[in-house]
Structure 1
Amino acid sequence: MKKKLMTGIIATLLFASPIVMPTVTEAASVQELEDQKAELENKSSELNSKIQSQEETLNNLESEKVNLESEVEKLQTDIDAVVLDLKAQEQKLADSKAKIEKLKAEIEKLKELIARREEKLEHQARSVQTDGSASNMVDLVLSADSLSDLIGRVGVVNQLVSANKEIVTQQENDKKEVEKNEEAAQEEKVAVETLKAEIEVNKSNLVAQKAELDDKIVQVATKYDMTESEKNEFVKAQAVVATKTSVLSSELQEERQRIIAEEEKAQAAAKQAEAEAKAKAEEAEAAETKQTTSSSNSSSQSNNSAQASTPSSSNSSGFIHPSGGYQTSSYGYRIHPITGVNKLHGGIDFGGGGPIVAAQSGTVVFSGYDSSWGYYVKIDHGNGLQTLYAHMVAGSLLVTSGQQVSQGQQIGTMGTTGSSTGVHLHFEVYVNGSRVDPANYL
């Protein structure tokens, strides 16, 4: 019975197996297909997301290209205006120099004429002193043979006196003319010097604006991760936009390139000189630190104490506020408003807009454009002390590298160029090349 039962079970399993096994296999295949389908759908979704993201990037690029082209056109127009101003100023400078030369020639002629007259008058004076006394004049009149002869002799004397009087009068007039021409020449010289300074400032602004233009183009090209060849093509395309926008003649275009090349060379030399000065200051500081370290601990502590008190004691140096604006951000670590990174804010920010002035007299070591600081000026005040003024309005630079500035002299206008979120002045103080808190100097 048990044997029959076992046989029946086995038979049932054998007959059932062809039906059950394919069903299990088929279920497994369906599951795999479902998984593959889900995976493909995920990949498709990811691909669509990437395509959409790429399309958005391309659309943004097109939008930024349009905005950039608008900025390129505006900057190119500004650059053209500066070049035309420079041309007019240089022509005015040439006219002024010609006027000075003409005045000099007239002065020399008048001086020569005056000298000849003075020599003649001195000769006549000597003759009168030796030959012509008052009694001789009386004898000349008394020795006349007749009335007509007397009248004739008196007329000759009157003519001589009148002639000399006219010479003396003319002499005085010519001397006054010389003085007048000399004053005019001096005024013209002052005008020439002022004009030269304006030309240098305009050249500096021209180079700074060209640097801003190039920087904007490269920033857009870099932002969209272009290849080197694509970036070069993009830069060329923007250069074509700038060229088409420009209203300058080919002669003025060449003049602009010459000015830019000269100013870039001068600015590079100024930066190199500043870097060398900074390196020397750092060497001197390192040597001083080494010397201080080798002394006794008590002496070292007193020296450190004296060094720590230097900034506050420097208030007596007479720094003035570089702007009339209100303080919006102090020196120290903060969350950067653009990058969101916690980093050192190396200066003090002043808001409100308006003119920017030199906090103290000194020599301008740089006046130009930087992608972070925008339009900025750096001034050396001597003794390792420097100040920096950043984010000025494009084209508002009023000083140039190498120029001497006085305390309170306007050097630019508050703007929002470079890495900036609004109109303000970013003000920094450097001691021996290292940034320090400007609050200790204001």
Structure 2
Amino acid sequence: MKKKLMTGIIAALLLASPIVMPTVTEAASVEDLESQKAELENKSNDLNSKIQSQEETLNNLESEKANLESEVEKLQTDIDAVVLELKAQEQKLADSKAKIEKLKVEIEKLKDLIAKREEKLEHQARSVQTDGNTTNMVELVLSADSLSDLIGRVGVVNQLVSANKDIVTQQENDKKEVEKNEQAAQEEKVAIESLKSEIEVNKNNLVAQKAELDDKIIQVATKYDMTESEKNQFVKEQAVIATQTSVLSSELQEERQRIIAEEEQAQAAAKKAEAEAEAKAAEAEAKQTASSSSSNSSKGSSNTAPSSSSSSSNSSGFIKPSGGYSTSSYGYRIHPITGVNKLHGGTDFGGGGPIVAAQSGSVVFAGYHSSWGYYVKIDHGNGLQTLYAHMVAGSLLVSPGQHVSQGQQIGTMGTTGSSTGVHLHFEVYVNGSRVDPANYL
């Protein structure tokens, strides 16, 4: 009986097992499915969020591209204006040169005429000294046979005196005319030199504006994450927009390209020369430092090292490069755009207005940079240089190689490049290394 009961129980269990086990498995599968469903929904949400973000990015880029095209058109218009101004200035320069040449010819003619008159007067003077004197004139009059003869002889004497007087008067007038023409020629030369400077500055601004235009096109192309071929095609498209916008004739467009090519070569050469000079200065400084350290260690601690430049910095003779107030000093800070803690290598001045050279020197660079915007760098000699950044587009008043005086305006405070507002970013370099400008102001 027990055996039958046990057998029945086992049979019941065996019969029950197909029903119980699948139920457990099914429950587990539902939980997995629910979990997978939730995971898929999360992934879908993430994907939708990414798609939405990407769409927003693309929309922003489309907007940025449209803005870029507007800026391309505006910059191209500005570039055209500069080219037309250059053309007018070069014509004025040619006219001034022709005027100087004409004045030179007139001066030479007058000088030749004056020389001939002087020779004639000297000849007459020698004749009077050798062939007669004032009594001859008296005898000429007294020896007259009749009244009519007397009147005739007096007339001859008057004619001789009057002729010489006219010659002397004309001689003086011609000499004054020579002086007048020479003064006019000198003034024209000064005007030519001034005009040449204006032409160089305008050419430099043209190249800087072209650099800004190219930089903006590349920035948008980079944000679109384009391939190299797509980027090149995009750049070509923007160039076509610029060409279509341009009102210049084909001849002037060729002239523009020639000017840009020449100035870019000149700026590249200037940058190379500056880099080589800075490398040499750094090498010389390193050698001097090494020599100084060796000398100090051999002499012992009782001998002090040469005094640093900070003592002479305060008497450097620098003036403030702008009338603005200091908004950010030299040193580490949180960058206002990137949010990264990094060295702020200069002093910022806010407020707006003209920017002037802190000290006299020679312009090393005047152009555009994606970070500094429109900027100028001046070499003051003895390894000392200053940099002035974020100027207004087209406001550069100097060009590379030009000598500037202390206090001479070189540009206007703006917010070009990586900038959050109108200000001047001012840097000081000693042998190629940035130092705190506060020690020089």
When normalised by structure 2's length, the TM-score is 0.96
Alignment of 1:215-226 (within 5 A): 215-226=215-226
Q: Displacement of 1:221 after TM fit?
A: 1.0
- Mapped to 1, the partners of 2:94 and 2:19 lie a distance apart of 109
Asked whether the 8 Å contact 1:346–1:428 carries over to 2, the reply is yes
Secondary structure, aligned partner of 2:168: helix
> Which residue in 1 is equivalent to 2:396?
397
Secondary structure, aligned partner of 2:306: helix
> Which residue in 1 is equivalent to 2:314?
315
Output one character per residue of 1:236-262: Cα deviation in whole Å (capped at 9) or x when no partner.
111111111111111111111111111
- Mapped to 2, the partners of 1:389 and 1:234 lie a distance apart of 32
Q: Displacement of 1:298 after TM fit?
A: 7.9
> Which residue in 2 is equivalent to 1:131?
131
> Which residue in 2 is equivalent to 1:43?
43
- Which deviates further from its counterpart, 311-320 or 167-176? 311-320
- Mapped to 2, the partners of 1:284 and 1:212 lie a distance apart of 35
Alignment partner of 1:156 is 2:193: no
- Which deviates further from its counterpart, 126-135 or 247-256? 126-135
Asked whether the 8 Å contact 1:292–1:303 carries over to 2, the reply is no
C-alpha distance 283-326 of structure 1, shift in aligned 2 (>3 A): same
Instruction: For 1:432, give the aligned amino acid.
Output: N
- Mapped to 2, the partners of 1:407 and 1:45 lie a distance apart of 63
Alignment partner of 1:262 is 2:262: yes
- Mapped to 1, the partners of 2:80 and 2:407 lie a distance apart of 31
Alignment of 1:1-400 (within 5 A): 1-297=1-297, 306-308=306-308, 310-400=309-399
Q: Displacement of 1:305 after TM fit?
A: 5.0
Output one character per residue of 1:184-229: Cα deviation in whole Å (capped at 9) or x when no partner.
0000000000000000011111111100000011011112211112
Asked whether the 8 Å contact 1:293–1:300 carries over to 2, the reply is no
Instruction: For 1:413, give the aligned amino acid.
Output: T
C-alpha distance 304-396 of structure 1, shift in aligned 2 (>3 A): farther
Q: Displacement of 1:8 after TM fit?
A: 2.4
Output one character per residue of 1:317-357: Cα deviation in whole Å (capped at 9) or x when no partner.
21111111000000000001011110000010000001111
Output one character per residue of 1:156-193: Cα deviation in whole Å (capped at 9) or x when no partner.
11111111111111111111111000000000000000
Alignment partner of 1:436 is 2:414: no
Instruction: For 2:155, give the aligned amino acid.
Output: G
Instruction: For 2:426, give the aligned amino acid.
Output: F
- Mapped to 1, the partners of 2:39 and 2:300 lie a distance apart of 71
- Which deviates further from its counterpart, 200-209 or 17-26? 17-26
Secondary structure, aligned partner of 2:386: strand
Instruction: For 2:52, give the aligned amino acid.
Output: Q
Asked whether the 8 Å contact 2:292–2:305 carries over to 1, the reply is no
Asked whether the 8 Å contact 2:296–2:304 carries over to 1, the reply is no
Instruction: For 1:330, give the aligned amino acid.
Output: S
> Which residue in 1 is equivalent to 2:422?
423
Identity, % of aligned pairs? 87
- Mapped to 2, the partners of 1:196 and 1:107 lie a distance apart of 25
Q: How many residues align?
A: 441
Asked whether the 8 Å contact 2:296–2:303 carries over to 1, the reply is no
Output one character per residue of 1:2-57: Cα deviation in whole Å (capped at 9) or x when no partner.
32332221222233233333333433443343333333323322332222222112
Instruction: For 1:277, give the aligned amino acid.
Output: A
C-alpha distance 286-424 of structure 1, shift in aligned 2 (>3 A): same
Secondary structure, aligned partner of 2:366: strand
Flag structure 1 segments of 5+ consecutive residues without an equivalent.
Answer: none
- Mapped to 2, the partners of 1:145 and 1:410 lie a distance apart of 84
Q: Displacement of 1:264 after TM fit?
A: 0.6
Q: Displacement of 1:301 after TM fit?
A: 6.1
Secondary structure, aligned partner of 2:257: helix
C-alpha distance 436-302 of structure 1, shift in aligned 2 (>3 A): farther
> CA RMSD for the aligned pairs?
1.6
Asked whether the 8 Å contact 1:292–1:300 carries over to 2, the reply is no
